[in-house]
Amino acid sequence: MKPLCKSVVGGLLLILLGGCSATTTIDEYRPSSQPILLDANEQVVVLGRRDAGHYETDREFIDCVAQRMRGSDISVLPEARFIDAIYPWFEPRTAPKGLPRLKKLMQDPMIKTVVNQQSVRYLVWLDGSTETVEKGGSISCAVGPGGGGCFGFAQWDKLSVYEAIVWDLEELQEMGRLRVDSEGTSYLIGAVAPIPLLTPVKSDACASLGNQLKTFFTASE
């Protein structure tokens, strides 16, 4: 291939890949700039809010954020293990939506005992969803005895909006909140074979949120 051709192909690839990156914004609120101290025997649990009518904070995203937060100094309890242990008090119908209800729940000695047995000190509520906000273009595929292929161009914008709220289950107070907005456009080019150029909007939101939440906590010496 001639050097000029290589430059053109390289430039096109860079433009296409550049168009496939998500724009992510994180807003953070913390009453104190000091990181939250986590003892060696204390754990964090990440739970999804599932009481909204038109969307569901999906488990895949919760697991992704928990995985991001998990590290040598932060122990994260799986969501299912916590809600099963405390069933039915953290189901969509019964989960506390605010601190007053949480305080009331924690007055129950049975619930308090289970929380202590699970060594859960902090609870992170995640609420949000990823949605396709705009679509454009069209692509059509056809298959015949002589062969087949796809022709056309399609694009769609995805928007991920998630909010995380950190509760201290010992002091029964809010320790901070985070909001992540991630937006990006994906493309599908039909040039005989369909070529997808996908923007990882949701995984970008997960990585940003998980990494930022990780900075909330630090292991005590």
Partner 1 sequence: MMIRKITYRNISHSMTRLLLLLTTLLILAGCSSSASVQIDRNFPSVLAKPKPIAASIVLTEEFSNYIAQPNDKTVIDLGSAQVQVMKNAFAGLFNKVEFVTTADQITTDNGLIITPSVREVQVSTPSDNYLNVFEVWIKYNLDIADSSGEPIVSWFMPAYGKTPDAFMASKPKAIEEASIIALRDSGAKLMLDFYRIPAIYGWLREQQRLEQSP
* Residues of this chain that bind partner 1 (CB under 8 A): 50, 54-56, 58, 60, 84-89, 91-94, 110-111, 114, 129, 131, 143, 145
In the complex, what is the shortest distance from the CB of residue 126 to partner 1, in angstroms, rounded to a whole number?
13
**Between 166 and 209, whose beta carbon lies closer to partner 1?**
209
In the complex, what is the shortest distance from the CB of residue 10 to partner 1, in angstroms, rounded to a whole number?
31
**Between 6 and 59, whose beta carbon lies closer to partner 1?**
59
In the complex, what is the shortest distance from the CB of residue 53 to partner 1, in angstroms, rounded to a whole number?
9
**Between 1 and 143, whose beta carbon lies closer to partner 1?**
143
Is residue 182 classed exposed, middle or buried when 0-12, 13-18 and 19+ CB atoms within 10 A define those classes? Answer: buried
Contact 157, 133 (CB under 8 A): yes
**Between 65 and 86, whose beta carbon lies closer to partner 1?**
86
In the complex, what is the shortest distance from the CB of residue 87 to partner 1, in angstroms, rounded to a whole number?
4
